[in-house]
Structure 1
Amino acid sequence: MTLQQFLLILRARWKIALLAFALTVATTVVVSMLMAKQYTASAAVVVDVRSPDPVSGLMLQGMMAPGYMATQVDIINSDRVAQAVVKGLGMENSPAIQAQWREATQGKGQLRDWLASLLQKSLDVKPSRESNVISINYTGADPDFAAAVANAFAQAYIDVNLDLRVAPARQYATFFDEQTKTAREKLEKAQQALSDYQQQNGITSTDERLDFETAKLNETSSQLTGVQGQTTDSQSKRSSTKADTLAEVMQSPLVNGLKADIARLEAKLTESKVNLGANHPQIQRTESELGALRAQLDAETRKITSSIETTYQVSKQREAQLQGALATQKARVLVLNKQRDELNVLRRDIESAQRAFEIVSQRASQTNIESQTNQTNIAVLNPAIAPPAPSKPRVFLNVLVSVFLGTLLGVGLALLLELMNRRVRSTEDLVEALELPVLGAISSASGMFKRTAIGVSA
C-alpha cells in the first residue's frame, strides 16, 4: 500500500476514524474524572556502604558487592518488613480492618499476612542509579495514611536490617559463651594436673634442682675418674717385682740416707779388711752395723710397699663407693629429666589451653558486643510528608495517551473496514486488481459539475 492509497482510504472513511478517536478521548476523560484520587508519599533512606563495622572496625566487603543495593530493595519488599509495618501501625487492632479481612477471606489465614500483602501491592521501591539512596513510595487514598505507611516502611526496614545483622551475632554469642566455659574448664584441669604432679613429686623448681643434681653428677664422675687413676697407679706399683725401683722408695729421704750410710760402711769395711784383716774386732763391729743398716733399709722398703698396698685397697673401696654414688646420681638425674619432660608436657597443655581460652574469650566478647549493638549503616534521608496533590489519576497524561491511542484506533479501524470491503479508489488499485495497464483516466462527474456551477455563477 502506497501513501496515496493510505490517504485516500482515510479520506473515504474519516468519519469512522474521527468517531473512534472521539470516543477514546471522551472515555478516557470520563474515566479519569471518575477515578478515585490516589496520593503517593515518598520516604528516602541512604545506605552507607563504606562505613566500617562499629565493633571490629573492618570494612565489610559484602557491602561493596554489585548486588548489595538490589538485596536491600528485596528486603524492603519482603513480607517481614511489611508485617513489621502492620505491627508498628497497629492496623490489626482496627475493628473496621478486621471486618474487611473476614469479608475478603472468610476468616482464613492470618490478618497480619493479609494486611502485609495489601500494603505490598501499593508499595514501590526504587534505588537510585548513581547513589546509595533508596526511595520508598506508597500510594493510598489518604495522603496522611500514605505518608505514615511510607515512614513506617523506612523505619521497619532499618529495624529489620539491624535485626538481620544482630541475630547471627546473638547466636554466635551463645555458642562462644558455651565454648568459653569449656575452654575455661580445660584450662583449670590442665593447671590442676600440673599442681597435683608437683605436689606428688615435691617439685618446687625443676630447673634449679636439675642443675644442682647434674653438677653433683659431674663432680662425682670427676672424683671417680681421679680415684680410678690412683687405683691404676697403685695396681701397677703393686705388680712391680723390684721394690727398690719404686718412685716412693727412691724418693724417700730415709731410704736414701740409709743407702748412703750402707755405702759408706761398705767402703770403710773394704778398706779395713785390707789393712786389719777379716777377724779384727773393728771389722766385725762394722759388719754388725752394716747388717743393722741393711735390715733397717729392708724394713723401711717394706713399709713403703705396704703403704702402696694400703693405698690400692683404699682406692678400690673408694672407687666402688663412687661407682655406687654415680649410679645413684644418674638414676636421680634421669628421674628429674623425666619429671621435667612431664612438667613441660603439662605446661604446654596449659599454654595450649590458655591460648584457646583467650581466642574463644576474645571472640565471645566481640560477638557479645555485636549482639547488643543498635547501630546500623542505614539512615532516613527524607521522611515522607502528606502529599498536597494527588498522584493519580493524571488527567493530562491520560488525555495525551488517549489522543495517541485514539488516533491509532481510528486509523486501524478505517484500514480494517477497508480490507473487509475493498474499494477502487485510484488507478493503482485497478492495476493491482486487474493486472492490466491503464490507458487513460476520466475525472469524476461530480468534479466537472462543481467546476461548471462555479463558471455559471460567475
Structure 2
Amino acid sequence: MTLQQFLLILRARFRVICGVLAIVVVAAAAVSLILPKKYTAQAALVVDAKSADPILGNMIPSQMMASYIATQVDIIASDRVAQRVIDITGLDKQPQFQEMWQEATEGRGDIKVWLASALKSRLDVKPARESNVITLSYTGSNPEFVAMVVNAFAQAYIDTALELKVEPARQYASWFDERTKGLRDDLEAAQKRLSDYEQQHQIIASDGRLDVETARLAELSTQLVAVQGLRADSRSRQSQSGAAELLPEVTQNPLISNLKSELARKEAERDQLRGRLGPNHPEVGKVAAEIGSLRQRIGSETQRIAASLGTTSRISAAREEEIAAAVEAQKARVLELKAHRDSIAVLQRDVEAAQRAYDLVTQRLATTNLESQTQQTNVAVLTPATEPLWPSGPRLLVNLLLAIIVGGVLGVGSALLIELADRRVRGEDDLSSLPDVPILGVIPSAGEALAGGFLARLFRRPAEGY
C-alpha cells in the first residue's frame, strides 16, 4: 500500500475514523466522570545511615549505602510492617472491613493478612536517587483515610526497624547473661583452688618469702665458702706442724717473741760470764739453767700453738659440715617454695584467664543490654502525610488526551479493516495493479478540474510572435 492509497482510504473513511474517535473520547470522559475520585497522600522518611551508632560506634560503609536503603524499602513493603499498620489503625476491628473480608474470602484465612495484602497493593515506596530520603505514597478514595494509612506505615516502619535492631540484642543479652553465670562459677572455682592451695601450704602469692629464702641461701653459701677457706688454711698449717717454730702463729706470738728475746739476752749473758768466769762457774750454770727453762717454755708454747691449730681445723670442719647441711636444707626449702610458687602461678593464670573471660562477657552483656533497651532509631519522619485537598485521579485531561490517541489509532485501524472487507478503487494505482485492465483515461473531479485549469493557464507558454 502506497502513501497515496493510504491517504485516499483515510479520506474515504473519514466519517468512520471520526465516529470511532468520538466514541472513545466520550467513553473516556464518561468513565472519568463516573469513576470515584482518588486521593494520594505522601510522607517522606529520612534514613540517617552516615552517623555512628551511639552505643556500638560503628558506621555503615559508603559502598553499602545503596544496599542498605534498598533493604529499608523492602522492609517498608513487607507483610510485617503492613500487619503492624493494621494493629496501629485497628482496621481489622472495623465492621466495614470485616464485611469486605467476608465477601472476598468467605471467612477463610486471617483478616490481618488479607488487609495487609490490600494495603500493600496501593502503597508505593520510592527511594531518592542521590539522598537517603524514602517517599511513601498511598492512593484511596477517602483523603482522611489515605493520610492516616501513610502515617501509620511510617510509624510502623520506625517501630519495626527498632524491633529488628532490638530483638537480636535482647537474644544476645539473654545468651550473654546465661554465659556470665557459667563464667562466674568458673572464676569462683579458680579463685577457690588458689585460696585452698595457699592455705594448705601457708603461702601467699604476693609475699616475698621466696626472695627472703633465696637471700638466706646466698648468705649461707657465702658462709660455707668462707668456712671452707678457713678449713683449707687450717689444714695447710696443720700439715706444717713438724716445723712449728716457723708457723706464723708462732713467729707472730708476742709471748714467744718475748721469751725468745729473753733467751737471746740470757745466752749473751752466759757467753760473757763464760768468757770472764769460765764455764764451770756457778753463775754460768745458773744462767744456763735459766736458758734451758726459757727454751722449755718456748717449746711448750710452740707445741700449745701447734695443738691449737688442730683444734681450729676440727672446729672448721664441724662448722663446714653444719653450714653445708644448712645450705642443703635451704636449697630444699627454696626449691619447695619455687615449686609452690610455680603451682600458684598456674592457679593465678587460671584465675586471670577466667577473670578476663568474665570481664569480656560482662562488658558485652552491658553493651547488648543498652542496645536492647534503646528507643532511638536512625529513621525520622521528614514530612508527615496530610489530608490531600485535590484528587489525584481520575485525571480528565490526561484521560482525554490518551483517549484521543487511542481513538485515533482505533479509528484508523477500523478504516483499514473496513477497506479490506469492502475493497474499492481509489485511484490510478488501484487500476494499475489489476491484471489485463488497460487505463484509457482519468476523469478528474470538479475540484481537481478547476485546480488543473487554473494551473495550466498560470504556467502556459506565450505564443510565438507576441
Q: TM-score, normalised by structure 1?
A: 0.89
CA RMSD of aligned residues (A): 3.0
Q: Which amino acid aligns with 2:441?
A: I
Deviation at 1:11, TM superposition (A): 1.3
CA shift digits 1:190-227 (9 cap, x unpaired): 33333222222223475432222222222211111111
Query: Is residue 305 from structure 1 mapped to residue 335 from structure 2 by the alignment?
Result: no
How far, CA to CA, are the matches of 2:158 and 2:410 in structure 1? Answer: 49
Q: Which amino acid aligns with 1:292?
A: S
Identity of aligned residues (%): 50
Query: Is residue 200 from structure 1 mapped to residue 220 from structure 2 by the alignment?
Result: no
Query: Is residue 444 from structure 1 mapped to residue 443 from structure 2 by the alignment?
Result: yes
How far, CA to CA, are the matches of 1:443 and 1:166 in structure 2? Answer: 90
The residue that corresponds to 2:462 in the other structure is none
CA contact 1:54–1:375 (8 Å) conserved in 2? no
The residue that corresponds to 2:344 in the other structure is 343
CA contact 1:16–1:413 (8 Å) conserved in 2? yes
The structure-2 alpha-carbon separation of the partners of 1:173 and 1:344, relative to structure 1 and needing over 3 Å to count, comes to same
The structure-2 alpha-carbon separation of the partners of 1:40 and 1:199, relative to structure 1 and needing over 3 Å to count, comes to same
CA contact 2:176–2:361 (8 Å) conserved in 1? yes
The residue that corresponds to 1:178 in the other structure is 178
SS at match of 1:203: coil
The residue that corresponds to 1:163 in the other structure is 163
How far, CA to CA, are the matches of 1:380 and 1:283 in structure 2? Answer: 143
Deviation at 1:164, TM superposition (A): 0.9
**1:112-123 equivalence runs, <5 A:** 112-123=112-123
The residue that corresponds to 2:248 in the other structure is 247
How far, CA to CA, are the matches of 2:7 and 2:196 in structure 1? Answer: 112
The residue that corresponds to 2:54 in the other structure is 54
Q: Which amino acid aligns with 2:297?
A: Q
Return structure 1 stretches of 4+ with deviation > 6 angstroms.
none
**1:349-368 equivalence runs, <5 A:** 349-368=350-369
The structure-2 alpha-carbon separation of the partners of 1:63 and 1:159, relative to structure 1 and needing over 3 Å to count, comes to farther
CA contact 1:73–1:126 (8 Å) conserved in 2? yes
Greater shift in the superposed pair: 212-221 or 420-429: 420-429
Deviation at 1:131, TM superposition (A): 3.0
**1:90-169 equivalence runs, <5 A:** 90-169=90-169
CA shift digits 1:332-365 (9 cap, x unpaired): 2222222333333333333333333222222211
CA shift digits 1:119-170 (9 cap, x unpaired): 1112122223333322222222222222221221111111111111111111
Q: Which amino acid aligns with 2:25?
A: V
Greater shift in the superposed pair: 416-425 or 349-358: 416-425
CA shift digits 1:7-27 (9 cap, x unpaired): 122112222222222222222
The structure-2 alpha-carbon separation of the partners of 1:441 and 1:302, relative to structure 1 and needing over 3 Å to count, comes to farther
How far, CA to CA, are the matches of 2:448 and 2:215 in structure 1? Answer: 149
CA contact 1:39–1:390 (8 Å) conserved in 2? yes
Query: Is residue 38 from structure 1 mapped to residue 57 from structure 2 by the alignment?
Result: no
SS at match of 2:385: coil
SS at match of 2:377: coil
**1:268-283 equivalence runs, <5 A:** 268-269=269-270, 279-283=280-284
The structure-2 alpha-carbon separation of the partners of 1:432 and 1:358, relative to structure 1 and needing over 3 Å to count, comes to farther
The residue that corresponds to 1:216 in the other structure is 216
Q: Which amino acid aligns with 2:247?
A: L
Number of aligned pairs? 452
What 5-or-longer segments of structure 1 have no aligned partner? Answer: none
Q: Which amino acid aligns with 1:110?
A: D
How far, CA to CA, are the matches of 1:193 and 1:51 in structure 2? Answer: 48
The structure-2 alpha-carbon separation of the partners of 1:380 and 1:433, relative to structure 1 and needing over 3 Å to count, comes to farther
CA shift digits 1:56-112 (9 cap, x unpaired): 344333896112222222111110011111121212223343333233223222111
SS at match of 1:242: helix
Greater shift in the superposed pair: 45-54 or 236-245: 45-54
The residue that corresponds to 1:396 in the other structure is 397
Q: Which amino acid aligns with 1:71?
A: T
How far, CA to CA, are the matches of 2:28 and 2:273 in structure 1? Answer: 180
The structure-2 alpha-carbon separation of the partners of 1:206 and 1:89, relative to structure 1 and needing over 3 Å to count, comes to closer
How far, CA to CA, are the matches of 2:186 and 2:234 in structure 1? Answer: 64
SS at match of 2:66: coil
CA contact 2:198–2:205 (8 Å) conserved in 1? no
SS at match of 1:54: coil
How far, CA to CA, are the matches of 2:246 and 2:303 in structure 1? Answer: 13
The structure-2 alpha-carbon separation of the partners of 1:148 and 1:166, relative to structure 1 and needing over 3 Å to count, comes to same
SS at match of 1:130: coil
The structure-2 alpha-carbon separation of the partners of 1:81 and 1:441, relative to structure 1 and needing over 3 Å to count, comes to farther
Greater shift in the superposed pair: 131-140 or 51-60: 51-60
Q: Which amino acid aligns with 2:145?
A: F
SS at match of 1:67: helix
The structure-2 alpha-carbon separation of the partners of 1:171 and 1:61, relative to structure 1 and needing over 3 Å to count, comes to farther
CA contact 1:28–1:398 (8 Å) conserved in 2? yes
Greater shift in the superposed pair: 285-294 or 245-254: 285-294
**1:311-330 equivalence runs, <5 A:** 311-330=312-331
Deviation at 1:394, TM superposition (A): 1.6
The residue that corresponds to 2:410 in the other structure is 409
SS at match of 2:208: helix
Deviation at 1:266, TM superposition (A): 4.2
CA contact 2:49–2:65 (8 Å) conserved in 1? no
Deviation at 1:415, TM superposition (A): 3.0
How far, CA to CA, are the matches of 2:432 and 2:231 in structure 1? Answer: 149
How far, CA to CA, are the matches of 2:121 and 2:287 in structure 1? Answer: 154
Q: Which amino acid aligns with 2:39?
A: Y
CA contact 1:220–1:326 (8 Å) conserved in 2? yes
CA contact 1:17–1:410 (8 Å) conserved in 2? yes
How far, CA to CA, are the matches of 1:176 and 1:433 in structure 2? Answer: 95
CA contact 1:37–1:393 (8 Å) conserved in 2? yes
How far, CA to CA, are the matches of 2:8 and 2:139 in structure 1? Answer: 48
Greater shift in the superposed pair: 178-187 or 307-316: 178-187
Q: Which amino acid aligns with 1:61?
A: P
The residue that corresponds to 2:457 in the other structure is none
What 5-or-longer segments of structure 2 have no aligned partner? Answer: 454-466
Greater shift in the superposed pair: 240-249 or 308-317: 240-249
SS at match of 2:337: helix
Deviation at 1:369, TM superposition (A): 1.1
